[in-house]
Amino acid sequence: MLEVRWLGCAGLELAINSKVVLIDPYLSRPGILKILFSRLAPAHDLVHSYTARLAGRVSAVICGHTHFDHALDIPEIARSLGCRTVGSGSLKTLLDISGVSTETLVCSGNERIELDHDIRVQMIPSRHGRVFLGRTPCQGEIDPSWTPPLKASQYRLGTMFMPKIEVGDVTLIHAGSAGFIESELDGHRCDVLFMCVPGWKSVPDYTTRMVNILRPEVIIPFHFDDFTRRLPLSGKVRMLPTIDLQGFVDRVHKYSPGAVIRIPRTNEVMRF
How much is the pLDDT for 232?
Answer: 84
CB 122 within 8 A of CB 164: yes
Domains present along the chain, CATH in parentheses? 3-266 (3.60.15.10)
pLDDT digits (tens, 9 = 90+) for 51-98: 999 988 999 999 999 999 999 999 999 999 999 999 999 999 999 999
Asked if the model's pLDDT at residue 146 lies above 90, the reply is yes
pTM: 0.97
Give residue-wise pLDDT tens across range 200-245.
999 999 999 999 999 999 999 999 999 999 998 777 899 998 899 9
- What per-residue confidence (pLDDT) applies to 236? 81
CA distances from 129 to 66, 137, 195, 220, 263 (A): 14, 9, 12, 17, 21
Question: What's the half-sphere exposure (Cβ side, CA atoms, 13 Å) at 232?
Answer: 9
**What are the tens digits of pLDDT across the range 88-141?**
999 999 999 999 999 999 999 999 999 998 899 999 999 999 887 778 999 999
